[in-house]
Structure 1
Amino acid sequence: MTSSAVLQFPPLSADQSEAHLRQKLAWYADAWDLAQDLAQGIEEIVAIDTRSPEQYQAGHICGAVSFPHRTMTAETLAALDRSRVYVTYCDGIGCNGSTKGAWKLAAAGFQVKELIGGLDFWLRDGHPVATGDAPGSWPEAAALPDCGC
C-alpha cells in the first residue's frame, strides 16, 4: 500500500483552516487587489515602495510613495497617517525589503500588509508603472487586466 505524501501531515479542521487562511489574507495583498483599490482611488490604502530612491525613480507602482526601509525610523514614520493601511513592496519574492519595511511600520503601530511578489508580480500582471520622483497617479485609460482567479 502506498502512503500519501500529502496526508503525511493531516489537514487541520475546517474551522482551523478558515482561521489560518483568514489570518494569511490579513497579512498580504496581491497585485490585482492593490491595482483595483488604486484604480478606484481607495484613500485608506497607501502603497509604499521600500526600495532605494534610484530604483523608485526607474519605475514604481502608480501612486506609490518612496520610503526606503533603510530610512524608516520613529522620527521619519511619525509623519504618516495612522488611519491608513500601508502596503509595502520591493523588487519581488527574492527581496525582503518589503518585509523589513512592514515590520518597522507594524512595530511603530501602523496597519500594514505586504504585496505578494512585489514589483515583479505587479509587472507580470501588466499593471501600470510610473517613473521619476513623483508618485504619479493611476492612468485613467488603464483597464485592469483580468485576474483569472
Structure 2
Amino acid sequence: MTQLDAIAFFSARLRFQTDVADVHAALESATPGLVVIDSRGDAAWSTGRVPGAVHLPTALIEARAGELIVRDARVVTYCWGPGCNGATRAAAAFARQGYDVAEMLGGIEYWTREGFPVETDHGLRRRAADPLTAPPDASCAC
C-alpha cells in the first residue's frame, strides 16, 4: 500500500460516510438539499427517528426514491446502529439510482446515545447523553 492508496481510501470514507454529530449540525444549520433517510421498517420508525427524516425502507428505495426525493439532494441514510448494515444497503440503493449519498455511522442508536432529540408520533423526546459516547466534561475535538 502506498501513501496515495491511503489518502484515496480515507478520503473516500469521508466522502461517503458521516457521523451523527455532523448530521445533527447540518440539520441545525438547515443545510440546503440535505435529506435524511430512515431505512428501517415501520415498527422501528414508530419507536423514534431523526427529526425531519424521511421514512423509506431499503426494500422500497428502488420503487419510490424518484417520487419522494429530488435528484439533486444530498441523501444521508441511517438504520439501527453500528452492528447493522442496513444504512449501507440503503446508501448503495440510492447510489444505484444516481443520488449523491452518504451513510450516517452509528445510526439511530448513536444519535440517541449522543443525546440528540428523537421525533415520535407524540413529539420530540431526548435522553441524556451516554457518557461513553459524549463525556460531559470532554470533547473529542476532532
Superposition map of 1:1-149 within 5 A = 12-74=1-63, 76-79=64-67, 80-132=69-121, 147-148=139-140, 149=142
Letter in 1 for 2:102: K
Q: Which structure: larger Rg?
A: 1
Q: 1:44 to 1:133 in 2, by over 3 A?
A: farther
Instruction: Evaluate the alpha carbon distance shift between residue 66 and residue 83 of structure 1 in structure 2; reply closer, same or farther with a 3 A threshold.
Output: same
Q: State the alpha-carbon separation in 2 of the partners of residues 83 and 147 from structure 1.
A: 34
- Distance in 2 (CA, whole Å) between partners of 1:147 and 1:115 is 20
Tell me which of the two structures has the higher relative contact order, counting C-alpha pairs closer than 8 angstroms and 6 or more residues apart. 1
Call closer, same or farther: CA 1:107–1:34 in 2, change over 3 Å: same
Contact 1:32 1:147 in 2 (8 A): no
Number of corresponding residues: 129
TM-score, normalising length: structure 1 = 0.77
SS state of the match for residue 70, structure 2?
A: coil
- The share of aligned pairs that are identical, in percent, is 31
Cα displacement (A) at 1:17:
2.2
Q: Which residue of 1 aligns with 2:129?
A: none
Q: Deviations over 1:74-114 (max 9, x none)?
A: 4x121120111111000012222211211111111111100
Question: Match of 1:77, as an amino acid?
Answer: A
Provide TM-score, normalisation by structure 2: 0.81
Displacement, 1:147?
4.9
What amino acid is aligned across from residue 19 of structure 1 in structure 2? A
Shift of 1:14: 3.5
| Structure (1 or 2) with the greater helix fraction | 2
In structure 1, distance between residues paired with 2:83 and 2:5: 30
